[in-house]
């Protein structure tokens, strides 16, 4: 009797392990749901809305496209703003404290299907792009961007950030929140490495009356 009970427990543990592996594979290569937290994308995505994040395009193409809305691992709290002393305009990249997560934390992150993604922003610049924040607007390679996704009257200023006239380095992207006056983004912390990108927002599925396929 005890032998049968032990065998049943073992079988349940194996089933749970297989399920977790499947979830981790889906999240790593297909996609996962997330919840919008905060107001940095307020003109496009509201706090509490639920999205499907796709990893397929990122896995295939490596880089997102300009205008895509992406989720990515946020720099640590002490690197969310680089001061004039800290900012290296010749290497305008976000700083991360590597190896801060233990094995257990990494495993939880990989298998957590409903885990909240750190940051969600819009891709403004790809490697080689010259990004300038001036005259209350964004300029890419000398041309003022047409940004119909912003609320009328939105102005894009430096917001105290140092990275407002830079060339995006290879292996990085420049991101901004659509709510430009209330967004911690590449203006403050620099360009995001592509290996920190978690996926692209492709579908808003909640609330149901706001159901929408997200396009750049």
Residue 6: what pLDDT? 61
Residue 113: what pLDDT? 44
Per-residue pLDDT tens digits for 85-97: 888 899 999 998 7
Contact 106, 214 (CB under 8 A): no
pTM of the model: 0.82
Per-residue pLDDT tens digits for 50-80: 998 888 867 666 789 999 999 999 988 888 8
Domain range annotation of the chain:
2-209
CATH, domain range 2-209: 2.10.109.10
φ/ψ of residue 2, rounded to 5: -65, -35
Residue 212: what pLDDT? 85
Per-residue pLDDT tens digits for 160-212: 899 999 999 999 999 999 999 999 999 999 999 999 998 999 889 888 888 88
Residue 134 to residue 77: CA distance in whole angstroms: 27
More confident: 12 or 108: 12
Residue 137: what pLDDT? 95
The percent of the chain in helix, strand and coil, each rounded to the nearest 5, is 25, 25, 45
């Amino acid at each position: 009797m005890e032998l049968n009970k032990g065998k049943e427990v073992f079988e349940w543990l194996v089933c749970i392990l297989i399920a977790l592996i499947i979830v981790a594979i889906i999240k790593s290569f297909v996609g996962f749901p997330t919840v919008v937290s905060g107001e940095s994308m307020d003109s496009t995505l509201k706090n509490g809305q639920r999205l499907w994040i796709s990893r397929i395009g990122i896995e295939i193409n490596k880089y997102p496209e300009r205008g895509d809305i992406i989720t990515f691992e946020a720099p640590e709290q002490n690197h969310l703003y680089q001061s004039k002393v800290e900012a290296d305009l010749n290497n305008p990249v976000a700083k991360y404290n590597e190896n801060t997560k233990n094995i257990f934390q990494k495993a939880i992150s990989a298998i957590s299907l409903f885990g909240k993604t750190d940051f969600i922003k819009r891709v403004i610049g790809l490697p080689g792009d010259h990004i300038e924040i001036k005259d209350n607007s964004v300029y890419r390679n000398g041309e003022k961007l047409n940004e119909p996704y912003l609320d009328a009257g939105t102005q894009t200023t430096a917001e105290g950030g140092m990275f407002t006239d830079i060339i995006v380095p290879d292996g990085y992207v420049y991101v901004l929140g659509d709510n430009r006056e209330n967004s911690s983004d590449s203006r403050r912390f620099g360009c995001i490495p592509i290996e920190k990108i978690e996926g692209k927002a492709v579908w808003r599925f909640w609330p149901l009356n706001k159901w929408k396929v997200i396009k750049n």
